[in-house]
């Protein structure tokens, strides 16, 4: 069997990065040149066949040729690449029994929502990748076996009833190093599309995340308790957070780069709402937002708050965004607790938009929001909501200036200079 590196290492020869971003020098991954095995589409559940092939092909690639592959849960090991050809679709079978986590809860509503396995699961995996211009489809809009309700309809019913839906995520990573998603479309997840936890070295490059705007809890990519993360040259359209950096009790998140990407429907690029373990050293650069509810968002509250610091937003275009800047320390206004959210050393440089509401709300006078505006330009009259905030104006200025803040107006320039169109 011919072997090759399952994941092209993303440590290149470019100049060393600055502190507030992924510490690796990340370059575009490359597709494999050969495959250990190439599968062809046939009817029925292909999960066992694919999983066996992945285990046998360590250090190589399992290739899915064009066509439809219906599947239940797949456990993906280390040192292997799942390679999807253009026209190949790996689609989740909409049967809660296939995805049940062992307690008979998948496809039901309870108080926790942890009753389903994901379509693809990586546990403590190293040097693994999902690549190629095919699609991984969660079938969130398909009726669940034995009934007429879809996964997404179950999620909406759970919202109305005040419960949690037990539905499968598309891809879940629990621990690992040097993991890559490249050039693949992830679509129609019943819940989150890609959840990444406790990973050191994660790259998503050239991926597409696609779900209807009204599909509840269909986050795009959610890095949690991880470091050295790059998300680049990708497109997002979801029914929830397009990207959400989360730092719950499991650990903090640091050294993240989100670069040169386009965000359509969804709630924008968020930090939070869980920040109790801290988020730091994040660079968001070269993004264009079109029609999202929020754009650049940091959200938390005293039930789950923590320190968010050294965050830089640079070369950003926001068009038709309801809340293009949305920094709020009272995400749930009824939340109580002692985990106070503190946001400091936040910089917005060359951020342009066409309107909306600009929000900068710190927690209280002892825990103010600390933000620098340097080349931030919105139309005159765009409203600011400011409370408990220390706002600095950099040499690039800001237009309109927040209430009570003095400094230069932003220089007139291209509406979205520096941002991907």
CA angle, 192 as apex, 327 and 222 as ends, to 5°? Answer: 45
Catalytic residue among 240, 241, 326, 374: 240
CA distance 351 to 139: 36
User: What are the percentages of helix, strand and coil residues in the chain, rounded to 5?
Assistant: 5, 45, 50
Strands (E), 233-357: 235-237, 243-245, 253-259, 262-263, 269-271, 279-285, 288-290, 294-299, 307-319, 323-328, 342-353
pTM to 2 decimal places? 0.94
Domain ranges of the chain: 37-399
CA distance 193 to 169: 6
Q: Is 240 a catalytic residue?
A: yes
Residue 417 is predicted with a pLDDT of: 52
Give me the tens of pLDDT residue by residue for the chain, a chain 421 residues long.
333 333 333 333 233 344 579 999 999 999 999 999 999 999 999 999 999 999 999 999 999 999 999 999 999 999 999 999 999 999 999 999 999 999 999 999 999 999 999 999 999 999 999 999 999 999 999 999 999 999 999 999 999 999 999 999 999 999 999 999 999 999 999 999 999 999 999 999 999 999 999 999 999 999 999 999 999 999 999 999 999 999 999 999 999 999 999 999 999 999 999 999 999 999 999 999 999 999 999 999 999 999 999 999 999 999 999 999 999 999 999 999 999 999 999 999 999 999 999 999 999 999 999 999 999 999 999 999 999 999 999 999 999 999 999 999 997 555 565 455 5
**Number of neighbours of residue 249 by Cβ within 10 angstroms:** 10
Catalytic residue among 127, 242, 267, 326: 267
Q: Is 233 a catalytic residue?
A: no
First-last CA distance in the chain? 44
The CATH class of the 37-399 domain is: mainly beta
């Amino acid at each position: 069997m011919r072997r090759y590196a399952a994941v092209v290492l993303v440590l290149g020869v470019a100049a060393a990065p600055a502190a507030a971003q992924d510490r690796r020098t990340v370059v575009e991954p490359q597709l494999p040149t050969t495959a250990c095995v190439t599968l062809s589409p046939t009817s029925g559940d292909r999960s066992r066949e694919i999983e066996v092939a992945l285990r046998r092909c360590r250090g190589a690639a399992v290739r899915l040729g064009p066509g439809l592959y219906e599947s239940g849960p797949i456990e993906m090991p280390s040192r292997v690449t799942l390679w999807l050809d253009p026209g190949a679709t790996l689609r989740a079978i909409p049967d809660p029994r296939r995805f049940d986590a062992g307690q008979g809860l998948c496809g039901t509503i309870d108080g926790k929502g942890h009753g389903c396995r994901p379509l693809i699961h990586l546990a403590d995996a190293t040097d693994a990748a999902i690549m190629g211009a095919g699609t991984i489809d969660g079938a969130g809009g398909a009726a669940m076996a034995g009934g007429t309700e879809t996964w997404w309809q179950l999620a909406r019913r759970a919202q109305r009833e005040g419960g949690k839906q037990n539905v499968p995520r598309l891809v879940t990573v629990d621990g690992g190093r040097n993991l890559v998603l490249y050039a693949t479309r992830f679509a129609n997840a019943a819940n989150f599309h890609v959840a990444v936890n406790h990973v050191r070295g994660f790259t998503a490059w050239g991926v597409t995340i696609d779900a209807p705007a009204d599909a509840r809890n269909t986050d795009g990519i959610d890095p949690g308790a991880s470091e050295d993360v790059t998300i680049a040259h990708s497109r997002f359209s979801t029914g929830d957070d397009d990207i959400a950096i989360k730092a719950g009790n499991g650990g903090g998140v640091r050294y993240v780069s989100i670069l040169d990407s386009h965000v359509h429907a969804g709630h924008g690029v968020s930090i939070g709402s869980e920040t109790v373990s801290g988020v730091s050293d994040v660079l968001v650069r070269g993004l264009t937002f079109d029609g999202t509810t929020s754009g650049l968002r940091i959200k938390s509250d005293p039930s789950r708050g923590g320190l968010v610091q050294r965050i830089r937003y640079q070369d950003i275009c926001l068009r038709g965004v309801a809340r293009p800047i949305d920094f709020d320390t009272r995400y749930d206004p009824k939340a109580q607790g002692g985990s106070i959210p503190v946001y400091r050393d936040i910089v917005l440089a060359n951020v342009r938009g066409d309107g909306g509401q600009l929000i900068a709300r710190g927690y209280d006078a002892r825990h103010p929001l600390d933000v620098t505006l340097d080349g931030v330009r919105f139309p005159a009259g765009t409203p600011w909501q400011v409370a408990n905030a220390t706002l600095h104006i950099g040499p690039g200025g800001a237009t309109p200036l927040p209430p009570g803040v003095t400094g230069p107006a932003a220089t007139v320039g291209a509406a979205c200079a520096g941002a991907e169109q």
